[in-house]
Amino acid sequence: MPPQKNLEIRLRCWITLEGEKFFGPGRMQLLLGIQQEGSISKAAKTMGMSYKKAWDMINDLNARGQQPYVILKKGGEMGGGAELTPHALQVIELFKNLNAQLKNVAEAEENLLDLL
Amino acid sequence: MPPQKNLEIRLRCWITLEGEKFFGPGRMQLLLGIQQEGSISKAAKTMGMSYKKAWDMINDLNARGQQPYVILKKGGEMGGGAELTPHALQVIELFKNLNAQLKNVAEAEENLLDLL
């Protein structure tokens, strides 16, 4: 029997610290936006997110992470922009890798979809 | 460096049909409740879910699935209870297996947590 049209396995993976969200696709997207835009406010804008919400996310990563994730350049965010630390880049790589592996498992199990 | 306390990788996996949720942990839990209770209303109650919401979920599975998932026994839900079809049991097994495999990948990647 051919698979039904438009059946898809969807995945979401995130990391909690003390039971609260610490890292996930939203924060990763924000970090990638900061890397691209060099600014928290510009990155937030491209995501349709308030500056306050973006800053709260970055502040939480910086405060609860083992090392800072984002550093404000001279003049602070409004004056000098922001950049990712090597630590943030490493976490992004590992999280992307985890998601790619999960996606591989899901794709290998797509035969499940023929049944549903 | 020892891993931080209480960091956890969390996963959620669900299946969409035509872009809308079709199967996931909530519907699986409802089906398992029906298997245990022999009744949609009792299963809904144990999940703190309204009967209407439970019935909408079951109706959607039955209507959009390739085969029915739940069959009402003589007298209908209120009179005779409900039971799972072999099809539903097979989907549950495959979905459990998919989730177990995803969990294995996540556990193998827990070294990510040492870094965060």
ipTM, two decimals: 0.87
Encode chain B in three state secondary structure.
Answer: CCCCCCEEEEEEEEEEECCEEEECHHHHHHHHHHHHHCCHHHHHHHCCCCHHHHHHHHHHHHHHCCCCCEEECCCHHHHHCEEECHHHHHHHHHHHHHHHHHHHHHHHCCHHHHHC
Residues in chain A whose Cβ is within 8 Å of chain B:
1, 4-19, 22-23, 65-66, 87, 90-91, 94-95, 97-98, 101-102, 105-106, 109, 112-113, 115-116
Q: What are the boundaries of each domain within chain A?
A: 24-115
pLDDT along chain B (116 residues), means of 10: 73 95 96 96 95 95 96 70 96 95 92 86
Interval A18-41: pLDDT, tens: 999 999 999 999 999 999 999 999
Q: Nearest 5 degrees, angle CA B3-CA B5-CA B8? A: 85
Around B37, how many Cα atoms within 13 Å sit in the side-chain half-sphere?
18
The answer to whether A112 contacts B95, with C-beta atoms less than 8 Å apart, is yes
Q: Is domain A24-115 classified as CATH 3.40.50.150?
A: no
User: With pLDDT > 90 as the criterion, what percentage of chain A qualifies?
Assistant: 79
What's the whole-model pTM score? Answer: 0.85
More confident residue, B50 or A1: B50
What pLDDT score was predicted for residue B109?
86
Interval A53-73: pLDDT, tens: 999 999 999 999 999 999 998
